[in-house]
Amino acid sequence: MGSPLQICSQSGLLQEARFIASPNHDDRPAESEPSLIVIHNISLPPDQFGSEHINQLFTNCLCEEDHPFFAEISHLRVSSHILIRRDGEIIQYVPFHMRAWHAGVSCFRNREVCNDFSIGIELEGSDTTDFCDIQYLVLENLIRTLQQTYSSLSKDSITGHEHIAPGRKTDPGPHFDWQRLGLSLEVTLPAGAS
């Protein structure tokens, strides 16, 4: 995944991604360009990888009978722009110019409702498991491509879900190594975060 990625300016889709359209999106507010990247982790069921359950959650098709945990979340209407699976596969659910529903109640630099101005990137993983080398490589390449495409994404425009929703969210979690991104940027973390 070292070669440059391509985003179609008209569709807002990453050409290298498998597109699975999520109904859980809407228009960004007027004059609102993406200016923040929010990194998440997700696994369904928790700490299990490789199933189609994430796709089902983001397309409102998750069956609560498939796992006890799903009864708690099958009613949710959520999405993200991108999922990077543990083998490096990229799945896109929402075009980048649209608002995905990934951040919830959130605040970044005194600016609330981060969904309005952010791009959500999910990594298939959990708070208890290290992420894969290929995921870091794909993420780095994707961030670089997004920053080249959207001038409103500055070098310090990356943060974690746990940082914009502290106390409510914990991802990408302690097993995400911010230093591994290898980008010449300043990731915005609160004081004391590693």
Q: Which residues are catalytic?
A: 122
Q: Is 81:102 a contact under the CB 8 Å cutoff?
A: yes
Cα torsion angle, 109, 114, 74, 97, sign: negative
Q: Is 126:46 a contact under the CB 8 Å cutoff?
A: yes
24 Cα distance to chain centroid: 14
The contacts of residue 36 (CB under 8 Å, 6+ apart) are: 108, 114, 117, 118, 119, 153, 157, 158, 159
Cα torsion angle, 115, 83, 52, 27, sign: positive
- Residue environment code for 122-143, b if the CB has 16+ CB neighbours within 10 A, otherwise e: bbbbbbeeebbeebbbbbbbbb
